[in-house]
C-alpha cells in the first residue's frame, strides 16, 4: 500500500510504502486482546481461537509474560468446550470493524489435534522482572479451531497474555 504525504510546500509529495501490518491497522483490520492473571502450580489456562469460515485469513502473533516457569503449547484441529468470549479491540479506534476471529478464555480440550509447537517460558530473574516469549506471526487456516494452552509450573505465577492479529482477504496480507 502506498500513501502520499504532502511535503513542505503544496507541490511536494512523498510516497510512503506501508507493510501489510501497518496497512491493516489503517484499514481497521487489526485487533488485540490483553489479559493478566495469577495462576497456581499446575493450573492450566486455555485460549480457544476459532477462525472465520471464509473471507479472511488471520495473521496472528502473541506475547506471553510470566513471573514463574510455564509451558506454552499451540494445538490445531481440536474439540472442546467454548469458554467465555473475550472482547477483541480494533487497534484503529476510529474504525467500526469487528474481529472475525473468535477468542475465548477458559475453554477445555476434549480431543487433541495437532501440536503445532511447545515452548518453555523460563523463570523470571527477579520478582520485578517477568520472563517472556514473543512468538512469530502465523497465518491460521480458515474455518479452524486452535487452542493456546498455558501450564503454570509454580504457584503465584502472574501471567500476562497479549494476542495480536490482523485479518486479510489474502494469505499474504492484502
Q: Domain holding 136: CATH number?
A: 2.60.120.380
| pLDDT (average), residues 107-130 | 76
Assigned domain for 69 exists = yes
Q: Which residue reads 480440550 in cell numbers?
A: 109
Q: What is the pTM of this model?
A: 0.77
Assigned domain for 173 exists = no
Distance CA 61, CA 144 (A): 16
- Split into its structural domains, the chain has a count of 1
pLDDT digits 0-9 by tens, 21-56: 556 555 668 899 988 888 888 888 888 899 998 778
Based on its alpha-carbon atoms, the radius of gyration of the chain, rounded to whole angstroms, reads 19
Q: Which residue reads 490445531 in cell numbers?
A: 76
The residue range of the domain holding 102 is 31-168
Amino acid at each position: 500500500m502506498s500513501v502520499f504525504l504532502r511535503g513542505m510546500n503544496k507541490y511536494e509529495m512523498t510516497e510512503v510504502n506501508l507493510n501489510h501490518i501497518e496497512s491493516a491497522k489503517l484499514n481497521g483490520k487489526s485487533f488485540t486482546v490483553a489479559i493478566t492473571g495469577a495462576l497456581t502450580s499446575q493450573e492450566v489456562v486455555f485460549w480457544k481461537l476459532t477462525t472465520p469460515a471464509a473471507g479472511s485469513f488471520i495473521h496472528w502473533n502473541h506475547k506471553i509474560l510470566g513471573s514463574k516457569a510455564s509451558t506454552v503449547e499451540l494445538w490445531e484441529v481440536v474439540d472442546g468446550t467454548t469458554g467465555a468470549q473475550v472482547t477483541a479491540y480494533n487497534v484503529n479506534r476510529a474504525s467500526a470493524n469487528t474481529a472475525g476471529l473468535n477468542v475465548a478464555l477458559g475453554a477445555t480440550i476434549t480431543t487433541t489435534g495437532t501440536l503445532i509447537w511447545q515452548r518453555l517460558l523460563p523463570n523470571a530473574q527477579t520478582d520485578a522482572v517477568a520472563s517472556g516469549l514473543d512468538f512469530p506471526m502465523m497465518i491460521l487456516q480458515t474455518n479452524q479451531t486452535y487452542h493456546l494452552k498455558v501450564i503454570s509450573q509454580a504457584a503465584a505465577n502472574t501471567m500476562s497474555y497479549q494476542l495480536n492479529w490482523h485479518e486479510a482477504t489474502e494469505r499474504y496480507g492484502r
